[in-house]
Amino acid sequence: MRLILPLIFFVFLLEPGAAGEEESFPKELPDYLVEMSLEDLMNIEVTSVAKKAKRLSETAAAIYVINHEDIRRSGAKRLPDLLRMVPGLHVAQIDSNTWSVSSRGFAGQSAGKLLVLIDGRSVYTPLFSGVFWSLQDVMLEDVERIEIIRGPGASVWGANAVNGVINIITQNARDTQGGRLTTGAGNEERGFGGVRYGDQLSEHMWYRVYAKYADRDDSILDGRSGGANDGWDHLQGGFRIDWDATDDDSFTFQGDVYDQQSGRWKKTFSLTPPYESEQSYDSDSRGGNFLARWRRSLAAGRSMFFQVYYDRVATDQLYDFSQKYDTIDLDFQHQIALGERHELIWGLGYRFMKIDGNNFDAVALSPETRDDSLVSAFIQDEINIVDDLLELTVGTKVERNDYTGLEVQPTARLLWKVHEYHTAWASVSRAVSTPSLGKIDTRILANTKGPTPPLVPFPIETAFVGNDDLEPEEILAFEAGYRAQISQKLSLDLATFYNVYDNLFNLEFGTTTFVPTPLPHFYLPVAADNKMDGETYGAELAADWWAEDWWQMRAAYSFLSIHLDIDGNSLDTISERSEGWSPQNQFSLRSYFDLTENLELDAGVRYVDRLSELDIGSYTGFDLRLGWRPLDDLEISIVGQNLLQRRHAEFVPDFGNTSSTEVEQSVYLQLSWRF
C-alpha cells in the first residue's frame, strides 16, 4: 500500500491531457468498440447468456465484459491474468504453466464447473473437465471481447456450465486489416512476439493470418531457492476468413495450430526404498482446430446459424501420460417469433470425441481407447409480459451423454426494467456436472509408503481407481441482481446468489488387499463417489466510473461463503476441506489514465483473501503499465506485475505436478507497430 498511495497522489496532481482529440493507436475496431462512453458500455450487445445478441443492461444474468480496450491496457500476456479483474472469479497461478480458474468456489487445477469457449469452440479436456490454460494462447490483440457469466449457463450451453461460462470472442477479419507486429522481453516473459496481417480477398471477403511465439521463465520453488524447471515456450499460428456472401448470408472460417514445450514434475513410486521420489520431465503438447460457421439473417432481426468444428489435442501434461483427443462438434440454432410477445430460440447439437491414452504403470485408461458421443437439444422462450417493463425467459437443455445418460437442465429468468437506466433481475436454474473420464475409467498410482513393522510389515500402494457408477453433480441456483447507470459517469452492477449442490464428488477408500507380486505389498484403492453435499452464497459488485474524459476506473468486489457436508456413512476426511480452497473476499481496482494525448498510465491493484485449507495467506498484487505512442502507429510500453512482493504463493498443485511454487515479480518491455 505504501507504493499505491503516492501513485494515487501523483495522479491527482497531473494536468489532464487532450486524449481522444485525434485517432488513437488501437483504432482497428469500429468506433463503438474503442471510444465507448459509459452508456455505450451498458448497451453493448452480448451473446453468451441467450445465444443471441442482447444489450448488457437488459440481460437477466450476472455477466461481465472485458472489452478490447481493457485487454490492451491491462498489461496481461495470458488469458488467466486478464480474468483476475472479473468479480466472482478466482484466478490463481499454480506454477509457470498451470492455473486454477474458478467461478464461485471449487478452485483447483482440475476445476470442472466452468465452461470455457473460444468463438463457440469448447476447450475443456475430458480427462478432468478442466482447461489446459497454457495451451489457450490466443493473440490477445485480436480479441474483441470476453464475456463472463457467473452462475449456471447450462440451459443453453449444456453440462459443466455449472458455475459459469467464459466466452472469448475474436474480431471479424474486416476489422483487422493491415499489419501488426508485437515483440518484447522481460525477466519472466523471456521473449515474445507476434505478427498478424489482414487484407481483402474480394469486395465482401476479408482474411487475416497470424503467428506468435512466447518463452516463459521457470517459477521459483516455494520457500526454497532455484527454479522449478517449469518454464515453457509456445508457438502458434492461424487464420480467419469472413465472407458476406449475400445481404443475408455470412460465413466464417478459422483455424489454429500450436506446439508447446514445457518442463514439469512428477512423482515416481517403487516397492523398494526410497518408495517415492520426484522427477522432472519435458512435456510436449501439440494441437490444432478448424471451425466453419454459416449465419443467415431473417426478418425482424431473427437469424439461424450452423457451426461445425474439429479440434485435435495431443499432450502429456499430466504425469507424463500421453493423451490424444479428437473432437467433432456440430451445432444448429434457429431464432423465430411466435406472435407479438414470444421470441423462441431452439437448437440441436452433436459432439463426437475419440480419446486415446498411452498406458504405463503410474497412469492407465481402461479401455485405453474409447469413443464418446453427446446429443443435445435446447429451447428457450423469451416472453414480453409487459412492454418495456417485464420480461420472462424460460428454457431448458436436454442432453444424452455416454457417462450418465439423459440430463435435463432448465432455467427461468425474470427481468424488470425499473427505469430507463435501472434493471432488476432474478433467476432459478438447474445444472449438472457430468463425471470426467479421469473419475470413471482411469487408474492413477497416488503414493507408496514404506513398511512400519510390526503392524505393517510390507509397503502400502495407494491408487485412485475409476468408478463407472458415478452420478452427475447437481446444482440448484437462485440468483438476483440489480444493474444501474447512476449518472453519465457511474454505473453499478450487483449480483447475489444462493446455490445448493447435491451428489458432489468425493473420495472413498476401498478395502486393503495383500498382493504377493512383484514384491509383497498391500494395495489400497481410492475411488470417486457422490457422498458430499453443499451450499454456497455470496455477492459480487462491479463499478465503472469515468472520473474525467481522460480517467476511467473499474472496481470489483466479491464475497463467497462455502459449506460442504460429507454423508454420515462416508470415511472421507479430505474432500470437505476443499471449501477452504477459495477466498472469501476479493477486491480489484483498475485505473486507466491518459497523461497526455500520447502517454498512458494504467494501474491495477487486487486483494485476495487467504486460502485457509492450503496454508496460503492473503496477498495484494499491484500491476503498472506505462504506454507511449511516439507515432500514431507505434506504441512502446513497459509493464510491471506483482510489484508489491518479490514472490508469493497463490495455490498448490492438486495433481500431476508435486513441487509448490511461488509467483515472482515481472517486468517486461513491449513494442507494437501497425503497418
DSSP string, 97-141: TEEEEEESS--STT--SEEEEETTEE---TTTSS--GGG----GG
CB 625 within 8 A of CB 600: yes
> How high is the pLDDT of residue 316?
86
* 120 CB-near residues (< 8 Å, 6+ apart): 167, 291, 293, 307, 309, 331
pLDDT for 665 beyond 90: yes
Return the HEC string of 433-455.
ECCCHHHHCEEEEEEEECCECCC
The C-alpha cell of 299 is what? 426478418
In the structure, what pLDDT confidence band is assigned to residue 655 with cuts at 50, 70 and 90? low
CA distance 618 to 629: 37
CB 102 within 8 A of CB 611: no
> How high is the pLDDT of residue 45?
77
CA distance 92 to 652: 9
pLDDT for 10 beyond 50: no
* 96 CB-near residues (< 8 Å, 6+ apart): 216, 217, 218, 219, 228, 230, 231, 232, 262, 661
In the structure, what pLDDT confidence band is assigned to residue 43 with cuts at 50, 70 and 90? low
CA distance 78 to 76: 6
Q: Residue 108 corresponds to which amino acid?
A: G
pLDDT for 188 beyond 90: yes
> How high is the pLDDT of residue 657?
56
619-625: average pLDDT = 97
pLDDT for 6 beyond 50: no
**473-505 tens-digit pLDDT:** 999 999 999 999 999 899 999 999 999 999 999
CA distance 30 to 44: 13
Cβ-in-10-Å burial (0-12, 13-18, 19+) of 75 comes to buried
Neighbours of 654 (CB within 10 A): 18
- Cis peptide preceding 472, ω within 30 of 0: no
CA distances from 278 to 180, 266, 341 (A): 44, 6, 64
Mean pLDDT of the chain: 90
So where are the chain's domains?
A: 4-674
In the structure, what pLDDT confidence band is assigned to residue 49 with cuts at 50, 70 and 90? confident
DSSP string, 326-394: EEEEEEEEEEEEETTTEEEEEEEEEEEEEEEE---SSEEESSSEEEEEEEEEEEEEEEEEETTTEEEEE
The C-alpha cell of 504 is what? 458432489
Q: Which of 501, 482, 470, 635 is nearest to 578 (CA)?
A: 501
Alpha helices in 235-280 (DSSP H): none
Q: What is the CATH number of domain 4-674?
A: 2.40.170.20
* 32 CB-near residues (< 8 Å, 6+ apart): 40, 44
In the structure, what pLDDT confidence band is assigned to residue 25 with cuts at 50, 70 and 90? very low
**65-108 tens-digit pLDDT:** 999 999 999 999 999 999 999 999 999 999 998 999 999 999 99
User: CA 50, 51, 53: angle at the middle one, nearest 5?
Assistant: 85
**433-484 tens-digit pLDDT:** 999 888 998 888 888 999 999 999 999 999 999 999 999 999 999 999 999 9
> How high is the pLDDT of residue 255?
98
**131-155 tens-digit pLDDT:** 999 999 999 999 999 999 999 998 9
Neighbours of 249 (CB within 10 A): 12
pLDDT for 548 beyond 50: yes
E strand spans, 218-302: 220-221, 232-244, 249-269, 276-297
Residue 253 pairs with which residues in a beta bridge?
A: 241, 292
Alpha-carbon torsion angle 660, 642, 317, 266, nearest 10: -20
The C-alpha cell of 576 is what? 470437505
> How high is the pLDDT of residue 300?
77
294-319: average pLDDT = 90
* 619 CB-near residues (< 8 Å, 6+ apart): 607, 608, 645, 648, 650
Per the document, the length of the chain is: 675
pLDDT for 33 beyond 60: no
> How high is the pLDDT of residue 192?
97
pLDDT for 265 beyond 90: no
247-265: average pLDDT = 94
CA distance 65 to 48: 11
CB 279 within 8 A of CB 268: yes
CA distance 329 to 633: 40
- Cis peptide preceding 274, ω within 30 of 0: yes
**368-416 tens-digit pLDDT:** 899 999 999 999 999 999 998 999 999 999 999 998 999 999 999 999 9
585-600: average pLDDT = 97
pLDDT for 263 beyond 90: no
In the structure, what pLDDT confidence band is assigned to residue 319 with cuts at 50, 70 and 90? confident
CB 125 within 8 A of CB 311: no
* 485 CB-near residues (< 8 Å, 6+ apart): 38, 39, 42, 57, 421, 422, 491
Q: Which of 616, 611, 624 is nearest to 562 (CA)?
A: 611
- Residue % of the chain over a pLDDT of 90: 74
In the structure, what pLDDT confidence band is assigned to residue 365 with cuts at 50, 70 and 90? confident
> How high is the pLDDT of residue 38?
56
Q: Residue 493 corresponds to which amino acid?
A: D
> How high is the pLDDT of residue 221?
84
In the structure, what pLDDT confidence band is assigned to residue 594 with cuts at 50, 70 and 90? very high
